[in-house]
Amino acid sequence: MQKSILIIGACGQIGTELTIALREKYGAESVIASDIREGSESLMSSGPFELLDATNYEAIEDVVMHYEIEEVYLMAAMLSATAEKFPMRAWNLNMNSLFNVLNLAKEKKVAKIFWPSSIAVFGPNTPKDNTPQHTLMEPSTVYGISKQSGERWCEYYFKKFGVDVRSVRYPGLISWKTLPGGGTTDYAVEIYHKALEEKNYTCFLTKGTKLPMMFMDDAIRATISIMDADGDTLKIRSSYNLAAMSFAPEEIAKSIKAHIPDFEMSYEPDFRQAIADSWPSSVNDSKATEDWDWKPEFNLEKTTKKMLENLKG
């Protein structure tokens, strides 16, 4: 089936792999990658690319009209740890980019939108274990506040204007293909690189800091599958909880030691500890399973094996 798709923020951690996956599914010329700067050589050589500022409505509109875009994946965002350093810049990027694509859909210039939310929407008063889909949300970070606000606006545009917007709350994401982009869960990627390069890692979170995590292949599959789902089956238009595995730093270290016995880890928590402490340790994604048959494929052991195999080259 032929589609015309625009990915905004295609050079980021998720965007890079999502672009490649969508091009494999729909053909290179059908998927227009865009970002404020050029990305990796593999991304740039895989299909069409446009330099694009996600906060510039007219620029996005020009690309949409030129390529006759039907679906937009808005992946541009400033993540949790970086956003705490630049709060107003984060708010401007995270919110204005969303309004731009929502308004394009409201004006019937695009048919469907994917916008990612995050476990950052939850706060210190949210139930930490098996966090339900609908619960108390009092995010304590700039990133979380922007994502919670975004969820409310997505639901509003769906109910008020019929905008077909779809979303999942990503947990921490683990990938060997791309480096992390300034998030609180970045340690779960860095640790594999350091294990292979130096056989030791200094973690910026403490022992026992259990967080929801997901291997990138599962995240990409979930993203594409919710966009492929029949809209009538989607009961939630704010954002769906999404889960795969939950672990603490010492658990990922143990899984690595099974492959690299002399690997050692130490702990020097920094400002990201407070962010992690405000997030759930596990989430309940039964609504995603019910509504669009979501099911993860990767656990921690399978993730560690895949990461080490691919990073070794």
Specify which residues 114 forms β-bridges with. Answer: 73, 166
- Parts of the chain with a pLDDT under 70: 1
Nearest CA among 278, 272, 281 for reference residue 205: 272
Tokens of 120: 């950052």
CA–CA gap between residue 126 and residue 156 (Å, rounded): 23
pLDDT at 1: 61
CA–CA gap between residue 224 and residue 94 (Å, rounded): 21
pLDDT at 180: 74
In one letter, which amino acid is 274? A
pLDDT at 83: 93
Give every CB contact of residue 102 below 8 A, 6+ residues apart in sequence: 113, 153, 154, 157, 163, 165
CA–CA gap between residue 7 and residue 15 (Å, rounded): 7
Catalytic one of 143, 170, 201, 240? 143
Cβ neighbourhood burial of 78 (10 Å; 0-12, 13-18, 19+) = buried
pLDDT at 179: 77
CA–CA gap between residue 288 and residue 12 (Å, rounded): 25
Tokens of 225: 């599958």
Range list of H helices, 162-215: 187-197
Give every CB contact of residue 241 below 8 A, 6+ residues apart in sequence: 131, 132, 133, 168, 169, 283, 284, 285, 287, 288
CA–CA gap between residue 218 and residue 26 (Å, rounded): 19
> With contact defined as beta carbons under 8 Å apart, do 298 and 215 qualify?
yes
pLDDT at 37: 96
> With contact defined as beta carbons under 8 Å apart, do 30 and 54 qualify?
no
Q: Is 97 helix (H, G, I), strand (E, B) or coil?
A: helix
Give me the residue label for tokens 């006759």.
Answer: 68
Q: Count CA atoms within 13 Å of residue 114 on its CB side.
A: 26
> With contact defined as beta carbons under 8 Å apart, do 120 and 147 qualify?
yes
Nearest CA among 20, 109, 22 for reference residue 58: 109
Over the stretch 47-78, which tens digit does the pLDDT of each residue have? Answer: 999 999 999 999 999 999 999 999 999 999 99
143 catalytically annotated: yes
Q: How many CB atoms lie within 10 A of CB 160?
A: 9
CA 116-120-123 angle, to 5 degrees, is 145
Asked whether the whole model's pTM tops 0.85, one would answer yes
Domains of the chain: residue spans and CATH:
5-171+215-241 (3.40.50.720), 172-213+244-312 (3.90.25.10)
Give every CB contact of residue 254 below 8 A, 6+ residues apart in sequence: none
pLDDT at 153: 98
